[in-house]
Structure formats: C-alpha cells, structure tokens
C-alpha cells in the first residue's frame, strides 16, 4: 500500500500540488514524519509518525488532535478525555437503577450486533473467519486496536497475526 506524502507538510504551508507530493510505503511515510518532527519539532509530525508507525492508537491520536484544535466543546461520550471523570453520586445511582433487571446478556447482544466479519491469519498460516474481533483478541491475548491497525494497512502484523475486514 502506498501513501501520498506532502514533501512540505500542509501545516507548514505545503500544498496539494503534484510537485509537493511523493508516494511512500507506510513505513517510509512514518519515517519521513519522524525526521520532520526531530528536525522542526511540530506536534503534527510527531502524531503522524506515531500513528503511522502504530506507536499510538487511533483513539489516542484523535484525542491529541482534539486537544491541539483548542476547541472548547467536550469530546464525544466514550472519548478518551472522559477517562477518570468524576461522576456525581446522583448520576451513578440513576445509571445503576436504569440497568437493574436487565440480563447480563444484553451487553453481548449489543456487541454481537455491532460486530463485523474478519479474516484472521494465524502465525502458523491457518486462516479463520470470525465475527467479533474484540472477543477473539481477548481470547487469544491480542490487542484489538493493534489488530484493527493491521486491518487498515498501517501495520504489517500484530504478534505475527494478520487481519482483514470482510465487510
């Protein structure tokens, strides 16, 4: 897979003109941004390097970009910025009451309905089709976010497992 890289990054005034674009592999693209970051110290290049290299996950990358944007509105519910948030006792009580009486299976049903089909290639070369990537990763001691990055093509493998989205 090839990426289009801006020789002069857009955040430094570069354009989409063909003379400012070069095709690179994902690894070369990550390295190009690492070099730019070390040379000029721009946070955008550090994030591009770490995201392309799989050093940080998509959620952390989005959080950092949100913080850099300086926006005052809160990130979406479930966003990393909500980690460690202190909920009021009243809110916790209301949430607890709303979940009472629901069978534990409701979480699994929601998870199953949101699941996609995946093709996993194990380190021994065998291929299997699965429905729930998070569950598979949990059962096989794998990081589901890294497997998603493998599926997107930004990472070659995770613990010698390969992954692709089937639809």
Last residue within a domain, chosen from 69, 103, 122: 69
User: What pLDDT was estimated at residue 13?
Assistant: 87
**Per-block mean pLDDT, blocks of 10 residues, the chain (167 long):** 87 86 88 87 90 87 81 54 66 71 58 72 94 87 88 89 86
**Residue whose C-alpha is closest to residue 81's, from 72, 91, 90:** 72
Residue 132 lies in a domain: yes
DSSP 8-state code for residue 75: P
User: What pLDDT was estimated at residue 105?
Assistant: 59
E-strand stretches of 16-167? 21-25, 118-121, 127-130, 162-165
Give the chain's domain count.
2
* pTM: predicted TM-score of the whole model, two decimal places: 0.44
Residue range(s) defining the domain that contains residue 40: 2-69
């Amino acid at each position: 897979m090839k990426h289009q890289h801006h020789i002069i990054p857009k955040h430094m005034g570069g354009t989409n003109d063909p003379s400012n674009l070069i095709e690179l592999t994902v690894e070369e693209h990550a390295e190009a941004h690492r070099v730019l970051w070390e040379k000029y110290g721009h946070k955008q290049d550090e994030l591009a390097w770490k995201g392309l290299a799989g050093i940080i996950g998509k959620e952390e990358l989005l959080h950092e970009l949100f913080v850099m944007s300086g926006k005052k509105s809160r990130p979406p519910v479930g966003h990393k910025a909500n980690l460690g948030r202190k909920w009021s006792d009243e809110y916790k009580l209301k949430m607890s009451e709303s979940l009472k009486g629901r069978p534990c299976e409701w979480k699994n049903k929601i998870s199953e309905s949101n699941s996609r089909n995946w093709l996993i290639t194990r380190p021994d070369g065998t291929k299997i089709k699965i429905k729930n990537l998070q569950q598979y990763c949990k059962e096989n001691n794998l990081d589901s976010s890294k497997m998603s990055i493998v599926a997107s093509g930004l990472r070659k493998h995770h613990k010698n497992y390969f992954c692709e989205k089937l639809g």
